[in-house]
Amino acid sequence: MDTHTPRAELELGNIANRSEKGSAMSLIRAEAKAVGDKTARLRALRMEREALLAAEAAAAPKPVKAARKSRAKVTA
């Protein structure tokens, strides 16, 4: 480590690259936030749909099974 180089310059690089790194980080944060928001919205929609389907299934009458017919044995 060079004793004459400031710590910020070591972490961020030279002055010319600082704005690029800052804008890239803001783009990454914005994209991560957009993905998180979309995930939350889709999760809410899925939970709403599942609740609606569960309510419909509970309200629907149960189908009655038909009695099984027995087969007559065929003798030769």
Q: So what's the pLDDT on residue 14? A: 62
Tell me the pTM: 0.49
Other Cβ atoms less than 10 A from the Cβ of 62: the count is: 6
Model pLDDT for residues 20-48, shown as the tens digit of each residue: 566 788 888 999 999 999 999 999 999 99
Comparing CA positions, the residue from 36, 40, 16 lying closest to residue 28 is 36
Contact 46, 53 (CB under 8 A): no
Average pLDDT, the chain: 80
Q: So what's the pLDDT on residue 59? A: 86
Backbone angles phi, psi at 20, to 5 degrees: -65, -45
Contact 27, 21 (CB under 8 A): no
Q: So what's the pLDDT on residue 53? A: 94
